[in-house]
Amino acid sequence: MNLLAYFKEVKAELVHITWPSREETQFLTAIVLGGSLLVGLYIGGLDYGLTYLLGLFLQ
């Protein structure tokens, strides 16, 4: 298969894709950002707490 045929097939397949709406994309982006924030806060809280406990232990 040559390169030109490959790109023609890619273009043909792109027609079949069902793209999400703008509202759906914004909603799912907000979910990902919110989840990332929660995971970051959780890991940061664990790090802070364990660092504090280690500091108490080493004193």
Give the tens place of pLDDT for each residue, 6-36. Answer: 999 999 999 999 999 999 999 999 999 999 9
The model carries a pTM of 0.69
Query: What pLDDT does 29 receive?
Result: 98
Give yes or no for a contact between 20 and 28, defined as CB atoms under 8 angstroms apart.
yes
The H or E element that residue 6 is part of is: helix 3-14
In the structure, what pLDDT confidence band is assigned to residue 54 with cuts at 50, 70 and 90? very high
Tokens of 1: 């298969």
pLDDT, average across residues 34-50: 98
* Structural domain of 36: 27-59
> Cα(53)–Cα(2) distance, rounded to whole angstroms?
62
pLDDT, average across residues 28-50: 98
In a domain, residue 12? The reply is: no
Query: What pLDDT does 27 receive?
Result: 98
Residues 27, 24, 19: CA angle, nearest 5 degrees: 145
Domains: count for the chain: 1
